[in-house]
Amino acid sequence: MTSEAPKKHLNAFSLLYYAYKAVLNWGVFAIIVLPAQRTHFLAALVTLIFLIIAFSLLKFFFFTYQISDEMLTINSGIFVKRHTHIPYGRIQTVQRSQWFFLKPFQLEQLKIETAGHESHRPEVVFPVVAESVREAIEQKRLALGKADQKSPTAVQGITPTKATPIQSTAVRQEYQINPHDLNIFALTSFGILPLMGILAAIYGKIQEYIPQQFLNTITKEIVSQSILIISVAVVLIVIIAIAGSYLSLVQKYYQFTLTSTGDQLRTYQGLLQRKSVTIPINRIQALRIKQNVLRQWAKLATIQALAASSAGDDDKGNDMMILPVIKSHDTFDRLKPFINWVPTHFVQLNKIPGKNRFYFIRNAMLIMLIPVAGCLYFFKIWGLLSLPLLIIAFFMGWYSSSNTGWQIYKDQLLMQSGSLFTRTEFIIPKKNVQSFSLNRSIWMAHNNLAHMQVNVRHGNHNEAVEIRYIPMKDAEKIFNWLRLRN
C-alpha cells in the first residue's frame, strides 16, 4: 500500500533551486526597498538573505514523496498541507530536464502531468531528484501496462474505455536531426530581430552610466566620421545578433532525437540543458508546419504538435517540437512512422482568388498607416523616412494572401495562413475539432466572402485557427463537413 512506501526528500541540490526561485519572486521587492534603506541597508540585506535561506529550508523539509506499487504520492506545503496521489495509469506526460552541471551527479528535474490536469503547470514538479526516481516511476507504469494487457477483459476483447487507436505498431521508430540542416535552420531564424532590440535596449541602459564628457567626445567623433562609425556599429550589432541567435538554436536542438514505441512519443534534445518529453500520441490534437520566408527558400520546415497537455517548449506556448527542421519534400515521409493519421504526401490546397488579395493588402497597409502617421506628425519632414513601411506592409499583405489555403483530405482539415512573412499550415483531424464558426460582415456577404475559424485544444486552453476572405461556397463546404460528425 502507499502508506508502506517510505517517505523520501528531494536531493540537497533542490535548496539551490528554491533559493533561486525565491530570489526571482522577491527580486522586484528587493530592488524597490533596498535602495530606500540607506541607514539600514545592511540590516535589510541580511534580513532578505535570511528569509531566502529559511524559505528554501522549509520548502525542502516539507516536500516528500512516496513511490508505492499502486501510485505516486507527493506531500508538500508549509502552512497548508497538500497530499497528491497519482495512480500510475493516470500519468500522461513526463518531462525531464538536466543541466550539464547536474549530469555528473546523475540528477535531473522531473515534471509529471496527469490526465485530469487543467492548470498551466504540471501536476508535480520535482526540482532536483536522482535519475533513479524517474526510472522507478517508469518501471511502475510499464508493469501496470503489462498487467492490463494480461487482464481477462483484454483477453476477451473487452476494452474498459473507448479510445481511437492512433499508433497500431509497437515497433520502435527513431529520427535524429541532421547537423547540416540544423546549421541552416539556425542561420535562417528571425530570432535575430528581437536580439537586435535587446542589444539596443542594453546600450540605452549602459549609456546612462557613461560619463557625459566621454559621451560628448564620442559624439564629436561620430559627427566627423558619421557614415563609417554608424555603418560599423550597425554591422557589429547584426553580427552579434546573428551569432547569438545561431548559438542559441544550435545548443537548444543539439542532437535532437524523436522516438516512438507503441503509443508513446519521446523527444530528447539540448547541449547545455538536456530535455526529454514523453507523451501519448493520442494526446496530439493537431500538427503545425511552419516556414518563414527564408526557410521556404531553403526548403526547410518545422513541425510542432498541438497537444492536450502542457508538455513542450515553454518559450513556444507549450508547443511540442516534433521535427525542428526537415527538408520540405521529406516532411510526410518522416512523420508517417510516428503519427499514422497524417497524409502520405503534400496535399494541393485551394488558394485565394487573385481578386481577393486586395483585402489582405488593404488591411496590412491600414495597420501600418498608424505608425507612419505618428512619425509624420511628431517628426515632420523626418517622418517621411517612415514611408517605406507602407511598401513593407504591401508585401506583407501580398504574402499573407498568397499563402492562405485550405483543403479537406480524408478525415483531416488542412488550413494554411501567412503572417509576418511566416507560412503556417495546420493538419487537424476532424474528431479533434472542439468548435467551429463561419463569420462574415455585411460587406463580405455582398462579395460572397467569409472567415472560417476552427478551435482545437492546445495545452489547457484553445487554439483558434482561422483562414480569411475565402469564397462563401468553400466556407460552407468546410462548415457542413464539420457538422457531420463521425
Res 330 pLDDT > 60: yes
Task: Kindly report, residue by residue over 414-433, the tens digit of the pLDDT.
Answer: 999 998 889 999 999 999 99
Q: What is the pLDDT of residue 169?
A: 42
How far is CA 130 from each of CA 108, 170, 277, rounded to the nearest angstrom?
A: 6, 29, 17
Average pLDDT over residues 467-475: 92
Task: Kindly report, residue by residue over 306-327, the tens digit of the pLDDT.
Answer: 887 665 555 454 578 888 888 8
Q: What share of the chain in percent tops pLDDT 70?
A: 77
Q: What is the pLDDT of residue 314?
A: 52
Taking the model in full, what pTM does it have?
Answer: 0.77
Q: What is the pLDDT of residue 158?
A: 34
Give bridge partners of residue 313 from the DSSP assignment.
319
Q: Which residue has the cell 497537455?
A: 309
Task: Kindly report, residue by residue over 211-232, the tens digit of the pLDDT.
Answer: 555 556 655 655 555 566 667 7
Res 133 pLDDT > 80: yes
Dihedral sign, CA of 382, 388, 394, 396? negative
Res 334 pLDDT > 80: yes
Measured from the Cβ of residue 10, the count of other Cβ atoms closer than 10 Å reads 22
Instruction: State the Cα–Cα distance between residues 472 and 484, nearest whole angstrom.
Output: 19
- The three-state secondary structure class of 440 is coil
Which contiguous run of DSSP H or E holds residue 462? strand 461-471
Looking at per-residue confidence, does 363 or 114 come out higher? 363
For residue 380, what are the contacts with CB-CB under 8 A and spacing of at least 6?
none
Res 279 pLDDT > 70: yes
Q: What is the pLDDT of residue 165?
A: 41
Q: What is the pLDDT of residue 466?
A: 93
| 350-351 sheet: strands from edge to edge | 320-327, 300-307, 284-292, 422-429, 412-419, 405-409, 350-351
Q: What is the pLDDT of residue 159?
A: 36
> With the CA atoms of 123, 127, 128 and 133 taken in that order, what torsion angle do they form, in degrees rounded to the nearest 10?
-10
Residue 273 half-sphere exposure, CB side, CA atoms within 13 Å? 10
Binning pLDDT at 50, 70 and 90, where does residue 145 land?
low
Q: What is the pLDDT of residue 446?
A: 85
pLDDT, averaged across the chain: 80
Average pLDDT over residues 373-379: 85
Instruction: State the Cα–Cα distance between residues 137 and 115, nearest whole angstrom.
Output: 16
Q: What is the pLDDT of residue 4?
A: 66
Comparing 3-12, 67-76, 78-87, 277-286, the range with the smallest average pLDDT is 3-12
- The three-state secondary structure class of 347 is coil
Q: What is the pLDDT of residue 33?
A: 64
Q: What is the pLDDT of residue 445?
A: 84
Comparing 49-53, 347-351, 358-362, the range with the smallest average pLDDT is 49-53
> With the CA atoms of 301, 307, 310 and 313 taken in that order, what torsion angle do they form, in degrees rounded to the nearest 10?
-10
Q: What single-letter amino acid sits at 99?
A: W
Res 192 pLDDT > 60: no
Comparing 157-161, 213-217, 257-261, the range with the smallest average pLDDT is 157-161
Rounded to a whole number, what is the distance in angstroms from the first to the last CA of the chain?
43
Q: What share of the chain in percent tops pLDDT 90?
A: 20
